[in-house]
A and B are shown apart, each in its own frame.
Chain A
């Protein structure tokens, strides 16, 4: 048994780490966050030039053919820098959906561009009523002469404001909560009838809600077989969960490092506050929560690209549950131990704390995944 990265994986991680350290100071991040784009076009270009946007794609697409572990190494470093670029949405999730569901010509249309970073994808699967259940779809796609007409609303599409292609789910048959009857469509955001309401998010990124109003698309916008997208969505959401868990581990590492450093440096009552045992123990708990999270993120990465089945689903639900809980504990404990400083915009810790809470609201929170895990529980 060996949990170390191999040489190539280590190189990949070092490359990203160096890039993030060089380009993503806290001050720069605040400035990126405030632009209309909401992230750094230049940093995105550098990711692309170094081949990093292509990591999970096959070699024909200029990729690495990377799997869960490669994506994990990369995401952790993006997490450490609180990077705002839509890597998860475009490269991992959007690219993954098109790769799995798309036919040859659709793959040709989109994937090379996504892998090179030239095109950005976003994913619109949630709806106002869906909570975190991706099979809860009310948006309808009706077949007509030229293709399909879509009507409905997609909720909290991170990165949707700047995407070149948005993969949305829509119902071609069945009732709101049926797994059967869900289809995927690749939409170009300037299609008539698509309206986006863009907003910043609490953790400094950007997203939008998308209203689909009689959106007419050609038949070749349909990704995969009509009505059979639920399995693809589940599989790719699983890959995205693994990547998000890896990012979260990077965020937690930094949050813990900052807190530990503060405990050593901040003095009250004539001693560093890290001398108070109640804070020492809380810091130890933060560290062991991080280790729990790290272990689950590793496990999640190891199943991310394996065959779908209950075991894979359990691991991913378990990982996201642990990440959610550990993230909240670290976020709240870190703020508490920083005192007033932990509450301020100008100091970086608060932004790590906010990202950890925000991660719990992406792709299902710890409660959602606890229920999911429980529903898959084995009798023995």
Chain B
């Protein structure tokens, strides 16, 4: 048993910290730390800086421009970049479609798409969910019919995160209706500028435009945009989901959010004292900090178990559930900490360049909206109910 970082890992952490201190733009960090909106430009600016450092594609082999980090190094990166307020990379290109292309795509696809992901030329979004296919993803209906050297795609995707910024979408489409539902799905790369594609915003309960509906009407997609084999898309989709799930526990983000909460609670007053000295509120904070400590160690145990290679199994489902619950509790406490000031919905104060007077605390405006927005954490990436189904089936044998 040894729970300490090695000397090499410590040196790596110093290197990461030095990099973040020097290179992370202060305005971007301020937005992340204050739960404010990031623009497309913010994401791209940070991506450029990471690419220049060679640290953007942390899940890719070196030959394609990736960086050879051990699981512990990735963890250190995740933790430190959250701590400093670096934006989380939008995962759809670099961490989702790219690993699928690298593993299952052909040489032309790798040559074509990977460099464009690194350069930021392509912004990818994920076209999995449909109105009728959420948890039951395999029941998806968007149809792709082969005609000569094209597929003709008809159907609808939904909940497409940041689809309004994207020029590329990777889709699961039905290419065969004669077989078991999992066996008739293919993985298609689609240019969003193809005629017949319409993107419509979905406004979420906090007033944000973060997700979209994407409609496909007789959309012509060249067959060379098929990844791997026709009807084998479900295998690739599942491969991708294991990647998605590992990041979803959000331990680093919870740590950052907890630190934000403690600062907030030190500034807000109750009974003439800082809220953080209030017996009941400080106990609430303490409880979530203890839970987070435990989850962080569980996370490290999973990381250590895959040091030799491979991907984590269903334990990461358990951690997704815990991790999202913890983050949601922190958001709940932050909203509680501002008391009556959770009510005002001051969109102007959510912008970083707001230069008026703050109604109450400088960080108060986004807190209630952020709490509501993060209800999504237990819904997407496989809902928490679905994660528990996975655990009970694969670990418990029920």
Contacts and interface: CB of A to CB of B under 8 A. Distances in A.
A128 interface: yes
Contacts of A358: 342-343
Given A158-B343, A340-B379, A131 B336 contact: no
Contacts of A343: 204-205, 375-376, 379
Give the most central of B207, B268, B339, B360: most A CB within 10 Å. Answer: B339
Interface of A is mostly: mixed
Contacts of B84: none
A207 B340 CA distance: 11
B204 A345 contact: yes
A158 B345 CA distance: 12
A357 B271 CA distance: 23
Interface of B is mostly: mixed
Contacts of A339: 134-135, 379, 383
B220 to A, nearest CB: 29
Given A344-B202, A344-B203, A367 B336 contact: yes
A282 to B, nearest CB: 9
A346 interface: yes
Interface string A77-99: 00000000000000000000000
Given A276-B385, A350-B205, A353-B205, A335 B375 contact: yes
A340 B135 contact: no
A279 B343 contact: no
Contact of A202 (B134, B136, B202, B343): B343
A154 B248 CA distance: 42
A203 B359 contact: no
Contact of B271 (A131, A276, A344, A365): A131
B148 interface: no
A176 interface: yes
B243 interface: no
Contacts, number: 133
The size bracket of the interface on A is: 35 or more
Contacts of B136: 268-270
Interface stretch (A6-14, A64-72, A193-201): A193-201
Interface string A341-371: 0111110001101100110011001010011
A289 interface: no
A342 B206 CA distance: 12
A177 interface: yes
A199 B132 CA distance: 38
Given A336-B375, A346-B203, A128 B345 contact: no
A361 B205 contact: no
Give the most central of B205, B378, B379: most A CB within 10 Å. Answer: B205
B205 A278 contact: no
Give the most central of A126, A200, A353: most B CB within 10 Å. Answer: A200
A275 B168 CA distance: 37
A132 B270 CA distance: 8
A165 B27 CA distance: 43
A362 B343 CA distance: 8
B341 interface: yes
Interface string B132-164: 101110010000000000000000001100000
Interface in A93-140: 126, 128-129, 131-133, 136
A131 B339 contact: yes
A296 interface: no
A209 interface: yes
Nearest to A198: B344
B280 interface: yes
A202 B281 CA distance: 23
B343 A207 contact: yes
A234 B70 CA distance: 61
B272 interface: yes
Contact of B340 (A270, A353, A361, A370): A361
Nearest to A266: B134
A291 interface: no
A176 B343 contact: no
A142 interface: no
Nearest to A269: B136
Interface string B293-319: 000000000000000000000000000
7 closest cross-chain pairs (CB), A and B = A350-B205, A268-B136, A156-B340, A345-B203, A201-B343, A131-B270, A361-B342
Given A267-B132, A279-B385, 10 more contacts: A131-B340, A136-B272, A155-B360, A207-B343, A328-B332, A340-B134, A342-B375, A346-B203, A361-B343, A367-B280
29 contacts: A128-B360, A129-B272, A131-B268, A131-B271, A131-B340, A132-B339, A132-B340, A156-B343, A176-B272, A199-B346, A200-B344, A200-B345, A202-B345, A267-B132, A268-B135, A269-B139, A276-B385, A278-B388, A336-B375, A336-B378, A340-B134, A340-B159, A340-B376, A343-B379, A345-B205, A346-B203, A353-B372, A354-B205, A361-B340
